[in-house]
């Protein structure tokens, strides 16, 4: 169940998001969405998209603060009298994770309020899916190519839907399938 996997992954990352004052909006629906995929690879792909989104939000917030060190600012807020928390201080940005299932395809949308993806040399944003292409000072350029490979290996794909000064939106798409048949216990089992 892709919905459950996403909820579990977001629960796992909740403390990190709260510590970094990143607001996460979940739009996962109430119904299960089934895909035939390796759960570990699925988690890794979505985790990469979420980490990229968080880095974009934090980098954008750092720039909006006039280049001050956002990490130091957050540390200072954590040590403020009375113990400031994310709700009192306010989020520095937002990540929205949405799940839809239409026409036999399950789509996970990861949208951030960061400053957008800088256009790589050559001007082609599709290059971000090529190995070793990165705009990050400490990036390897392997995250998005890995996300793409995992999607393709499972019969799906990943697309950059939009990017600009208001943020970035990715779609990670896999073929949807029927839910597993309920297990039936034999009359002799406990």
Give dist(CA 92, CA 74) in Å, integer: 10
Domain region containing 107: 2-15+23-60+94-175
The verdict on residue 67 lying in a domain is no
Tell me the pLDDT tens digit for each residue of 13-22: 999 999 999 9
CA distance readout (Å), 126 to 4, 73, 116, 133, 158: 30, 35, 14, 10, 11
The verdict on residue 84 lying in a domain is no
The verdict on residue 181 lying in a domain is no
**What is residue 82's predicted lDDT score, i.e. its pLDDT?**
36
Residue 100 in tokens? 């839809």
The verdict on residue 78 lying in a domain is no
The verdict on residue 81 lying in a domain is no
Give dist(CA 114, CA 58) in Å, integer: 7
Q: Phi and psi of 144, rounded to 5°? A: -65, -40
Tell me the pLDDT tens digit for each residue of 46-88: 999 999 999 999 988 876 544 444 444 444 444 433 333 344 3
Number of domains comprising the chain: 1
157-164/105-112 β-pairing: unpaired
């Amino acid at each position: 169940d892709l919905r459950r996997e996403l909820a579990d992954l977001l629960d796992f990352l909740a403390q990190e998001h709260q510590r970094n004052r990143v607001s996460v909006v979940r739009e996962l629906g109430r119904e299960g969405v089934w895909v035939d995929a390796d759960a570990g690879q699925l988690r890794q792909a979505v985790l990469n998209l979420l980490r990229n989104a968080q880095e974009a939000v934090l980098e954008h917030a750092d720039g909006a603060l006039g280049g001050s060190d956002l990490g130091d600012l957050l540390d200072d807020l954590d040590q403020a009298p009375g113990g400031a928390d994310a709700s009192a201080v306010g989020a520095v940005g937002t990540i929205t994770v949405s799940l839809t299932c239409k026409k036999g395809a399950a789509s996970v949308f990861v949208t951030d309020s960061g400053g957008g993806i800088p256009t790589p040399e050559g001007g082609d944003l599709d290059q971000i899916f090529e190995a070793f292409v990165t705009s990050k000072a400490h990036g390897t350029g392997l995250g998005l190519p890995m996300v793409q490979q995992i999607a393709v290996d499972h019969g799906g794909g990943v697309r950059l839907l939009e990017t600009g000064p208001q943020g970035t939106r990715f779609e990670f798409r896999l073929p949807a399938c029927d839910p597993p048949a309920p297990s039936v216990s034999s009359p002799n089992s406990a």
